Amino acid sequence: MDKKQKLKIAFIGAGKVGCSLGKHLSLHGLDVVGYYSRSPVSSREAAAFTTSRVLSLPRLLTAAELVFITVPDGQIAVAAEEIARQARDENIDISGKIFCHCSGSFSAEVLTVLSAMGAYTCSLHPMLAFADKFTSYEKLKEAFFSLEGDLEIRDTVQGIISTCGNTTTIIDGEKKAEYHLAAVIASNFVLALINQSMELLADCGFSPEDSGKALAPLIQNNINTVLSRGPRESLTGPVERADIKTIEKHLAVQQGNRRKLYALLSRELVTLAESRQGNNKDYSPLLSLLDEDIQL
């Protein structure tokens, strides 16, 4: 067993990510020693789930060499302050220990109070939606991780993640907002659009069940094609065809923000269509039509 696998790992925050990541690491032979969370019930559940222990914060800080701070984003700085205070009050030397939060949008800078005490800090974000404490870990094997933070510990953290069979990419802390936005657009925004689509089908008389059945092949084939060929080569539909008559019909049945959103997204698709090699279609009449709505 190499050095990274012997590192004692603990979690502050026994929620969805804390439980899932702890389970994933322990299933791959890593040494998850325990949990400290705001509520004892959560700590107990997570410890039982990962066959580890419930720890007080001082005991956790003493025992662990790598601490995952898996609290909500707004609590990361609060938890870091609490760690620093406990370390000072209890005379616990945290220098050389690694503190890692899992937020997609914050960088390791939010843990500065711990760097000032000689600890290493980083952020490690799994690009995955965790909906449940006890089942989401099953999906973790597919997750791609991004890592940013102190150079000295990147290999160690990356090594731990690769031991679990996952890939990590290093990103710049200043890019985290853009990085997280990318994830939000690809997951949450797609959900907003599918919801709009289902509402339109409901208006056409579809039951929720039938709209799901009707859209499933469209959504699944589209995603598969985009992932294999890329967005540009997957593009079809009225915008790509510069089919103004159809787009006028679509605009006519929408009002307000949704109509504006349709125009803005269609403009994005025009840009994509125009970038296709060998596409000589004239999109200028369509752009003029869309701009009337965008400027409203």
- Binding residue (CB under 6 A) for ligand NAP from 32, 71, 263, 269: 71
Q: Which of residues 5-64 bind ligand NAP (CB under 6 A)?
A: 12-18, 37-39, 42
83 binds ligand NAP (CB under 6 A): no
Helix (H, G, I), strand (E, B) or coil at 284: helix
- CA 267 to chain centroid, in Å, comes to 27
CB 124 within 8 A of CB 135: no
102 binds ligand NAP (CB under 6 A): yes
- Minimum CB distance to ligand NAP, residue 293 (Å): 34
75 binds ligand NAP (CB under 6 A): yes
- Binding residue (CB under 6 A) for ligand NAP from 103, 107, 146, 158: 103
107 vs 266, which CB is nearer to ligand NAP? Answer: 107
140 binds ligand NAP (CB under 6 A): no
- Binding residue (CB under 6 A) for ligand NAP from 6, 51, 56, 78: 78
Helix (H, G, I), strand (E, B) or coil at 229: helix
What are the distances in angstroms from CA 224 to CA 15, 39, 201, 218?
32, 42, 23, 10
Q: CA-to-CA distance for 216 and 155, rounded, in angstroms? A: 41
Q: How many Cα neighbours within 13 Å face the side chain of 34?
A: 17
- Minimum CB distance to ligand NAP, residue 74 (Å): 8
Judged by CB under 6 A, the number of residues near ligand NAP is 27
Determine the straight-line distance between the first and last CA of the chain, rounded to whole angstroms: 64
Helix (H, G, I), strand (E, B) or coil at 98: strand
Residues lying near ligand NAP in the complex (CB under 6 A)? 12-18, 37-39, 42, 70-73, 75, 78-79, 101-104, 125-126, 128-130
